[in-house]
């Protein structure tokens, strides 16, 4: 071969290597049902909203640990444009690529090591509708599966975005949001070959459906009405609603549920009934706006992922008269002494412990200031000493409407065996009023009371992060916060619990003792998700959403004052940390 | 037939179609207009304007507001992005006028 031919061959080979290196810099392996089931074998990923199907919000990575945490530093940041009401989403990570959503149904794919944008997607929305919604324009997360990024939209659609290119693969309209106002803000769940998503519901006069859609084609597979079940089926429970109140009953499943692979059951927490406050008082079984137990609101329901059939349920608060949804809570699946359990927090401040068929095993209190019931029977789940409200004034109902527990997830750490969770101590005064649902021309909220936030009887309104046995509630330690944290928690195999606090500090606590080991001021309040993943450089990263302005946080400026009255309400920044 | 009744009829028909498309059966009866400001507060506005508008919450205190009537009407109709939805088209001009009068009449409890 002549010398010039050899040189040319060398140049061509070098050019080909460079091109391949460019492609290989972002390689994708498909996210499948089997891969999510085997998530323990992929500790560098965060493939679904709650981390894995067991919903532990836990990372097995331990490069960042109690010995190295003091060196943790900001690696990169990424700003979500037009981030009205902050950044409330949980990022996902697969093969070193980070995917995350934000307000107005935007999605980014970023290089997990550098934060560099790989692609950007923005949904074309019905802007006129969005401007009329209260629980809007935020988005809490996405699902990955079969080469798609799935997201529910503010105008009632489910979309599938190509994971490699950011192009829209398909979209399907599921809800008539233009008339019903309700839409999707929660992250979907990818299970088997279905994408499951629950609508908003409790505050509005509709029936709060949960949908399953074919993950490949977008064809609707099934729908389950959280209000009254499905008409004419085994789940039909419209007779637990007085008169026609099931037609405007609220409900919904607005946060992401869980999946138990052992029983092939999708578990979902349902929303409260509407109106939120019923004037029936103790005669709730026969009188008031919606007499009866109001199935399946404020319940945990187990559905067949293929058919949507109801397999099992437990109604945590029959005739919920206080807006204490079951929708807020994660389904922590764990095993102890050879028995399987499902731990599920309820908005009222109790944590329910079930077997894997929703039979009550125990109920324990996370929160001190509770008087909407005297107690809940730990053996049966029965409510003891209900505080039902009649028309008129009531003082000091505890907890406040924002809940003793809110939608920010807790975390279970298998190494410590502890469950870490945020609890909120605050109460309310209210005046219950008879209301008529407003349905035309567009459905409006149906709260049923004027109310205001007040301090609890035992002192100032505040929050806490505590570590307890998930089954018994026995507390190991508790750290108090002057205002309730509204972001999700993360724990890791490095024996760390990360708490993104509402004032803007990201804190790392020793998971065993609760001692604070590190903190960083991220510049604005936290009201979203936090994950850990491994990037292509082989390093462990922590990525946390920052950005204030969610509905619960909106009360902080007027009630707590600084720094909340200085926070922007249209700013969302993802901050990623790593060791040097 | 008044414009509002005609509009109610049209929206009622649309609602009936929408609801039956989702397996709802016959829609519930539509309440006779106008809705009182107390009703609108107890269903909707009170979510953000606490104690019936007498106290700040997610939204500002309305009692004693220094906004003019025109400014209040504008805010109710157009909302404020990230803070408040717009209710133009959801509530009638008569209902919005009623809300202004209600706000002006607010006294401490």
**What are the tens digits of pLDDT across the range A456-489?**
999 999 999 999 999 999 999 999 999 999 999 9
Q: How many CB atoms lie within 10 A of CB A470?
A: 23
How many angstroms separate the CA of residue A128 from the nearest CA in chain B?
9
- pLDDT-based confidence at A5, cuts 50/70/90? low
Q: How many degrees, rounded to 5, is the angle at CA A123 between CA A120 and CA A126? A: 155
**Of the ranges A4-8, A103-107, A274-278, B96-100, which one carries the lowest mean pLDDT score?**
A4-8
> Does the pLDDT value for residue B17 go beyond 60?
no
- pLDDT-based confidence at A29, cuts 50/70/90? confident
CB contact under 8 A, A180 and B18: yes
The answer to whether B37 contacts chain A (CB < 8 Å) is: no
Active-site residue identified among A95, A323, A501, A522:
A323
> Does the pLDDT value for residue A559 go beyond 50?
yes
Residue of chain A with shortest Cα separation from B56? A558
The answer to whether B18 contacts chain A (CB < 8 Å) is: yes
- What ipTM was predicted for this assembly? 0.87
A284 phi and psi angles, rounded to 5 deg? -65, -20
Q: Which of A104, A251, A440 to mutate to test the interface with B (most CBs of B within 10 A)?
A: A440
Q: Looking at residue B56, what DSSP letter applies?
A: -
The answer to whether B39 contacts chain A (CB < 8 Å) is: yes
Residue of chain A with shortest Cα separation from B10? A441
> Does the pLDDT value for residue A394 go beyond 70?
yes
Residues 448-477 of chain A whose Cβ lies under 8 A from any Cβ of chain B? 448-453
CB contact under 8 A, B27 and A247: yes
Quick: pLDDT tens for A442-455: 999 999 999 999 99
For chain A, the C-alpha Rg in angstroms (whole number) is 24
Domains along the sequence of chain B with CATH:
37-104 (1.10.760.10)
Contact B101, B88 (CB under 8 A): no
Q: Residues of chain A with pLDDT > 90: what percent? A: 94
> Does the pLDDT value for residue A4 go beyond 70?
no
Q: Which of A178, A209, A214 is nearest to A195 (CA)?
A: A214
Q: Which of A80, A137, A445 to mutate to test the interface with B (most CBs of B within 10 A)?
A: A445
pLDDT at B23: 38
Burial class (CB in 10 A: 0-12, 13-18, 19+), A322: buried
Residues 53-82 of chain B whose Cβ lies under 8 A from any Cβ of chain A? 55-60, 79, 81-82
CA dihedral A90, A483, A466, A457 (to 10 degrees): -140
Quick: pLDDT tens for A338-361: 999 999 999 999 999 999 999 999
For chain B, the C-alpha Rg in angstroms (whole number) is 16
Residue A193 bears catalytic tag = no
Q: Which of B82, B84, B86, B92 to mutate to test the interface with A (most CBs of A within 10 A)?
A: B82
Mean per-residue pLDDT over chain A, rounded: 95
H or E segment at B72? helix B69-78
Residue of chain B with shortest Cα separation from A452? B50
> Does the pLDDT value for residue B22 go beyond 70?
no
Take residue A397 and report the two structure tokens written for it.
């109902």
Quick: pLDDT tens for A137-146: 999 999 999 9
Chain B residues whose CB is inside 8 A of the A209 CB are 22
> Does the pLDDT value for residue B18 go beyond 50?
no
B7 phi and psi angles, rounded to 5 deg? -65, -45
pLDDT at A26: 55
Quote the pTM value. Answer: 0.92
CB contact under 8 A, B22 and A176: yes
- pLDDT-based confidence at A220, cuts 50/70/90? very high
């Amino acid at each position: 071969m002549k010398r010039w031919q050899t040189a040319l061959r060398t140049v061509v080979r070098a050019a080909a290597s460079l091109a391949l290196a460019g492609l290989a810099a972002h390689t994708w392996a498909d996210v499948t049902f089997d891969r999510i089931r085997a998530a323990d074998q992929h500790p560098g990923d965060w493939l679904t909203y709650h981390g894995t199907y067991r919903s532990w919000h836990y990372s097995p990575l331990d490069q960042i640990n109690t010995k190295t945490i003091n060196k943790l530093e900001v690696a990169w940041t990424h700003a979500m444009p037009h981030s009205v009401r902050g950044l409330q989403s949980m990022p996902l990570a697969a093969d070193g690529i980070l995917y995350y959503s934000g307000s107005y149904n935007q999605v980014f794919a970023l290089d997990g090591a550098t934060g560099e944008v790989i692609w950007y997607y923005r949904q074309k929305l019905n802007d006129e509708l969005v401007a009329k919604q209260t629980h809007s324009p935020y988005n809490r997360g996405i699902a990955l599966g079969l080469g798609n990024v799935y997201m529910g939209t503010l105008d009632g659609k489910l979309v599938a975005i190509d994971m490699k290119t950011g192009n829209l693969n398909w979209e399907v309209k599921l809800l008539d949001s233009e008339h019903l106002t309700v839409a999707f803000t929660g992250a979907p769940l990818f299970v088997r070959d279905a994408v499951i998503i629950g609508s908003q519901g409790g505050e509005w006069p509709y029936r709060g459906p949960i949908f399953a859609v074919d993950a490949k084609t977008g064809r609707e597979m099934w729908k389950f009405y959280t209000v009254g079940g499905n008409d004419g089926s085994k789940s039909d429970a419209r007779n637990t609603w007085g008169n026609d109140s099931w037609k405007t009953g609220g409900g919904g499943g607005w946060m992401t549920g869980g999946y138990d692979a052992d029983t092939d059951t999708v578990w979902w927490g349902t929303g409260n009934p509407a109106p939120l406050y019923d004037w029936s008082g103790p005669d709730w079984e026969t009188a008031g706006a919606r007499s009866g137990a109001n199935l399946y609101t404020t319940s945990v329901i187990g559905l067949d992922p293929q058919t949507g059939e109801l397999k099992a349920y437990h109604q945590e608060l029959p005739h919920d008269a206080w807006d204490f949804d079951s929708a807020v809570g994660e389904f922590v699946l764990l095993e102890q002494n050879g028995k399987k359990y499902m731990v599920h927090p309820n908005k009222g401040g109790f944590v329910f412990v079930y077997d894997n068929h929703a039979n009550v095993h125990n109920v324990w209190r996370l929160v001190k200031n509770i008087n909407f019931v005297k107690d809940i029977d730990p053996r049966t789940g029965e409510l003891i000493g209900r505080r039902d409200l009649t028309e008129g004034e009531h003082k000091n109902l505890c907890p406040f409407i924002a809940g003793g527990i809110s939608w920010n997830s807790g975390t279970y750490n298998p190494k410590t065996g502890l469950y870490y969770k945020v609890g909120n101590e605050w109460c309310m005064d209210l005046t219950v009023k008879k209301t008529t649902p407003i349905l035309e021309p567009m459905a409006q909220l149906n709260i049923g009371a004027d109310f205001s936030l007040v301090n609890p009887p035992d002192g100032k309104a505040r929050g806490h992060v505590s570590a307890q046995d998930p089954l018994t509630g026995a507390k190991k330690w508790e750290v108090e916060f002057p205002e309730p944290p509204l972001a999700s928690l993360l724990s890791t195999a490095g024996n760390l619990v990360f708490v993104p606090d509402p004032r803007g500090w990201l804190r790392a606590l020793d998971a065993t003792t609760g001692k604070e080991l590190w903190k960083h001021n991220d510049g604005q309040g936290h009201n979203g998700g936090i994950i850990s993943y491994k990037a292509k450089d082989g390093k462990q990263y922590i990525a946390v959403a920052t950005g204030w302005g969610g509905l619960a946080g909106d009360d902080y400026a007027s009630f707590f004052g600084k720094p909340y009255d200085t926070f922007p309400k249209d700013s969302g920044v993802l901050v990623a940390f790593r060791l040097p | 037939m008044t414009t509002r009744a005609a509009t109610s009829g049209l929206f009622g028909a649309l609602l009936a179609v929408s609801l039956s498309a989702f397996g709802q059966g016959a829609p519930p009866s539509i309440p006779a207009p106008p809705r009182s400001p107390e009703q609108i507060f107890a269903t909707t506005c009170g979510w953000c304007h606490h104690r019936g508008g007498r106290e700040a919450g997610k939204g500002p205190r309305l009692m004693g507001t220094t906004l003019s009537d025109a400014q209040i009407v504008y805010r109710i109709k157009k909302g404020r992005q990230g803070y408040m939805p717009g209710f133009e088209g959801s509530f009638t001009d008569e209902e919005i006028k009623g809300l202004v009068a209600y706000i002006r009449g607010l006294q401490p409890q």
